């Protein structure tokens, strides 16, 4: 099926790794033109820049924790491929240490909130389900995910049509995804067990699984009447195990 994305200008934030990089690749294969945002790592984008050339994809640097940088990114984007028609907000920061809420400093809350990401058109690469189920030790991250998945998405889908009558806002929320960020965690059999134990499909997603859903929701051809929805890409996960086998003495 033709998704109608040929020559559509797509801006992807956090595009230099994991799901973001796979999303850029997917849109390019579908004929779109892509502005690929990165903060500090341009190198992962170089193969795509070489393959598709400046007529199809360009890299754009910005620190999206800074309002001025965000404004510059969107102001400059149309100069290459015309007005931005699809935005995939895919950037964030994640504190790897487990920090209980009672011990979490305000600075960490503020930093996470400033750099929060959603998938548009809507997480740390493999923990979007934290917004649905919560995540002990990472309340800041889970709280911002919930805000994007529900309060912001549902509010923005009503506001955007006042600016763009056919504008749509949706969220793609992954579970565990095999990305570089998840690589170390997925070497631990106990973590893999907890990730898959309540998942009917019994497998960790690939970045392309998420990118494909982003592309489908971005297509006005097939999703033109879909707005304000959250698509969970989590293999049917029903929740998270709270107790390990060891803790239960099994």
Tell me the average pLDDT across 98-109: 89
Q: Report d(CA 63, CA 38) in Å as an integer.
A: 8
**Listed residue (3, 72, 9, 68) closest to 35, CA to CA:** 9
Does residue 115 have a pLDDT over 80? no
Least confident of 10-24, 36-50, 120-134, 148-162: 120-134
Q: How many CA atoms lie within 13 A of 145 on its CB side?
A: 27
Tell me the domain boundaries of the chain: 9-233
Does residue 248 have a pLDDT over 80? no
| Cα 228 to Cα 160, 169, 199, 225, distances in angstroms | 11, 6, 25, 10
pLDDT tens-digit series, residues 166-198:
999 999 999 889 988 788 888 988 888 888 988
This prediction's pTM: 0.89
| Superfamily holding 9-233 | NAD(P)-binding Rossmann-like Domain (3.40.50.720)
Does residue 94 have a pLDDT over 80? no
């Amino acid at each position: 099926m033709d998704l109608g994305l040929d020559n559509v200008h797509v801006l992807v934030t956090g595009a230099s790794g994991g799901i973001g990089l796979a999303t850029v690749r997917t849109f390019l294969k579908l004929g779109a033109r892509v502005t690929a945002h990165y903060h500090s790592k341009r190198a992962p984008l170089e193969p795509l820049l070489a393959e598709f050339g400046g007529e199809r994809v360009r890299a754009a640097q910005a620190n999206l924790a800074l309002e001025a940088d965000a404004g510059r990114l969107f102001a400059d984007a149309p100069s290459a491929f015309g007005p931005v028609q699809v935005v995939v907000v895919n950037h964030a920061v994640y504190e790897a240490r487990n920090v209980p809420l009672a011990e979490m400093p305000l600075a960490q809350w503020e930093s996470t909130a400033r750099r929060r990401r959603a998938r548009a058109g809507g997480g740390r690469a493999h923990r979007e389900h934290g917004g649905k189920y919560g995540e002990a030790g990472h309340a800041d991250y889970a709280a911002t995910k919930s805000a994007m998945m529900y309060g912001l998405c549902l509010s923005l889908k009503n506001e955007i049509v006042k600016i763009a009558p056919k504008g749509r806002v949706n969220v793609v929320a992954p579970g565990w995804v095999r990305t570089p960020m998840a690589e170390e965690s997925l070497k631990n059999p106990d973590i893999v067990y907890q990730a898959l134990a309540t998942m009917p499909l019994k497998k960790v997603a690939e970045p392309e699984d998420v990118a494909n859903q982003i592309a489908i929701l971005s297509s006005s051809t097939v999703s033109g009447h879909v707005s304000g929805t959250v698509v969970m890409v989590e293999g049917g996960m029903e929740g998270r195990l709270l107790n390990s086998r060891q803790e239960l003495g099994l």
